[in-house]
Amino acid sequence: MNIFITGGAGFIGSNFIKYILKNHADYHVYNLDALTYAGNLDSLWDVESNPHYRFIKTDIQDAGALDEILAPGSDAVVNFAAESHVDRSILDPQAFTHTNVLGTHVLLEAARRAGVKKFVQVSTDEVYGTLGSTGYFTEESPLLPNSPYSASKAGADCIVRAYHETYSMDVNITRCSNNYGPYQFPEKLIPLMVINALHDKPLPVYGDGQNIRDWLHVEDHCQAIDLVLHNGRPGEVYNVGGHNERTNLQIVQSILSELGKPESLIQFVEDRLGHDRRYAIDATKIRNELGWTPRYTFEDGLRETIRWYVDHRDWWENVQSGEYRKYYEQQYGSRLGARS
């Protein structure tokens, strides 16, 4: 099988490339990534000399490049490429429409021209909006995105769905909850808090810290995408989540306790605009249809992930470029005041 993985230098994409090469050793994997601030080839150091793996620097908005790369009749495209951080979408919303909506459309159209057999769109539970204190998102929940990021992902989902309805393209959409694990960019909650705690810097918790996310280890997400890629019914959406609901404050307290750091490092700061209160996924469909079950317990996965960041200081120091430092100052400077 020839698989074209876009955004393969990012957090989930790089984990997925390793998952595929490990579990399907005869497959050929092409990593198409534009290498934005979030793309990092260091995350793929252990596969770069694998003869079944090839990196091609590509922007998913570049139709000409995609036409040259996607060989006619290729087996599959799995689209991870995206602007993925909600806070950045509040600072610069249009960048998200360009990459996530237009980029997905250009890629989908190139895949159609090339007669690609399967197109998997890696989407997010955030397209469903926010929940109250009870209930779960199912595949039938209405799309009610609240941030420019989630709106752009919902837009992409609609275009992917339309290509199935209109052109009978074999597509699937996966909608997963929050991922954690190795190689996640330090702008996201868990790595940001681990790294700040290691530096004895304040841990900026938005609002009252009671917002709830439903956490899943990245390897469990990769297994779900692999099952959808091989066995997903054409045109279907699959939710993915492991029933690990935690408040943000609980996450931060667990990190501090694991690292032996004091809770006095926690600082409640101005809330995120339009901050979704709770996400929780009903993953019954993927369990029943495709036999997916997560392997990690949240406690083991979080402990392992914290240790990974402690042991891979070089990786996260390298990605904290000038661009990241500028972003950090813009996002947290006035929130944390002199303590940032």
Query: Catalytic site residues?
Result: 125-126, 149
Residue 38 CB, nearest distance to ligand NAD (Å)?
Answer: 3
The item of ligand NAD, ligand DAU, none sharing an interface with residue 305, based on CB under 5 to 8 Å by kind, is none
Angle 69-158-32 (CA atoms, 0-180°, nearest 5)? 20
User: From CA 3, how far away is CA 336, in angstroms rounded?
Assistant: 44
Q: What is the dihedral of CA 282, 284, 287, 288, to 10 degrees?
A: -170
Residue 248 binds to ligand DAU (criterion: CB under 6 A) = yes
Applying the rule CB under 6 A, the residues between 96 and 135 that interact with ligand DAU are 124-126
Nearer to ligand DAU, 148 or 204 (CB): 204
Identify which range of 78-86, 272-280, 284-292, 317-325 contacts ligand NAD by CB under 6 A.
78-86
Residues in CB range of 122: below 8 A, 6 or more apart: 12, 78, 79, 80, 82, 174, 176, 225
Residue 35's Cβ-count burial label (10 Å; 0-12, 13-18, 19+) is middle
Nearer Cβ to ligand NAD, position 81 or 195?
81
Residue 5 contact, options ligand NAD, ligand DAU, none, Cβ 5-8 Å cut-off depending on partner type: none
The span from the CA of 126 to the CA of 153, in Å, is 8
Name residues contacting ligand DAU, limited to 205-224 (CB under 6 A). Answer: 205-206, 211, 213
Part of the chain binding ligand NAD (CB under 6 A), chosen from 6-14, 204-212, 273-281, 284-292: 6-14
Residue 193 binds ligand NAD (CB under 6 A): no
Instruction: State yes or no: residue 226 binds ligand NAD (CB under 6 A).
Output: no
Which pair of tokens denotes residue 88?
A: 């950045």
Instruction: Enumerate residues 173-202 that contact ligand DAU by CB under 6 A.
Output: 177-178, 188-189, 192
Pick 30 or 332: Cβ nearer ligand DAU: 332
Calpha distance 109→96 (Å, rounded): 19
| One of 96, 185, 292, 332 touching ligand NAD (CB under 6 A) | 185
Q: Are 8 and 17 in contact (CB under 8 A)?
A: yes
Binding-site member from 124, 146, 147, 172 for ligand NAD (CB under 6 A)? 124
Please report whether residue 29 would count as binding ligand NAD according to CB under 6 A: no
Q: Which one of ligand DAU, ligand NAD, none is in contact with 86 (Cβ closer than 5 to 8 A by kind)?
A: ligand DAU
Q: Is 155 in the site for ligand DAU (CB under 6 A)?
A: no
Nearer to ligand DAU, 18 or 85 (CB): 85
Q: How far is the CB of 49 from ligand DAU (least distance, A)?
A: 30
Binding site for ligand NAD (CB under 6 A): 6-7, 9-13, 33-36, 38-39, 59-61, 80-82, 84, 99, 103, 122, 124, 153, 176, 178-179, 185
Residues near ligand DAU (CB under 6 A) are 84-86, 124-126, 177-178, 188-189, 192, 204-206, 211, 213, 248, 272, 279
